[in-house]
Amino acid sequence: MTTDTNAPTGRRTDTRRRMVVGAAKVIAAGGVDAMSLRELAIQAGVPLGSTYHHFPGGKAQLVDEAVRLVGAQVTQLIEDARTQGTDTVLQVFADRWRRVLEASEYAAGCPVAAAAVATDPRHQEVAREVFADWHRALTRALRDSGVPAKRAGRLARTVVAATEGAVALARASRTSDPLDEVVAELSELVESARAR
């Protein structure tokens, strides 16, 4: 039963997830305000009313879940790169956003950043938690690659900030050049932090 992927319950579960994924995409492209439950329900092929069955907390809940989902995915990405001893965690992190940018022709960016600049403090809090997760994971990765513990935290924060900023610049200029340039400079910075 539970292995039957065509079962009604299976489809329903899939629908719920598709709504969260769809929400993440719309938020990444236009911010929290641009995400309409109506349009999202239409795109997912479910009636508007059903949205409140799956998400009793309404729009706020859906937004939070979407941001947390992307947040967890990226945290995992960083963790995987770290445990595999990849010494280019920078690249892994930046490439994730490069793919989002290119796949959307620079229309979409980072949904966590969108939540960070939302008016609702609730969404900002979620963004804070996700950024903190990324920061922790990146700090560990930098320490693993030889950056002194005292410096790693500050450097990891800069990696998150610079990359997020580069994504915004890339959207404005419709080029991934900002991301390339920032990664190059961050690499220099990490290298010099390792040396001393």
Judged by CB under 7 A, the stretch of 33-41, 90-98, 120-128, 171-179 that binds DNA is 33-41
> Least CB distance from residue 15 to its own copies, whole Å?
26
Judged by CB under 8 A, the stretch of 13-21, 26-34, 39-47, 55-63 that binds its own copies is 26-34
**Pick 6 or 84: Cβ nearer DNA:** 6
Distance CA 76, CA 131 (A): 13
123-139 b/e with 16+ CB inside 10 Å = b? beebbeebbebbbebbb
Distance CA 9, CA 172 (A): 42
Considering only 37, 92, 160, 189, the residue that binds DNA (CB under 7 A) is 37
Distance CA 190, CA 93 (A): 14
109's CB contacts (< 8 A; 6+ apart) are: 28, 29, 97, 100, 101, 167, 168, 170, 171
When CB distances are held under 5 to 8 angstroms depending on the partner's kind, the choice from its own copies, DNA, none that residue 80 binds is none
Q: Does 97 bind its own copies (CB under 8 A)?
A: no
| DSSP per-residue string spanning 163-175 | HHHHHHHHHHHTS
Structure-token pair, residue 7: 């079962």
3-state secondary structure of 53: helix
- Of 52-71, binders to DNA (CB under 7 A) are 52-53, 58-60
When CB distances are held under 5 to 8 angstroms depending on the partner's kind, the choice from its own copies, DNA, none that residue 173 binds is its own copies
Residues engaged in binding its own copies (CB under 8 A): 29-31, 33-34, 107, 109, 113-119, 124-125, 127-128, 131-132, 153-155, 157-158, 160-166, 168-169, 171-174, 177-178, 181-182, 184-186, 188-189, 192
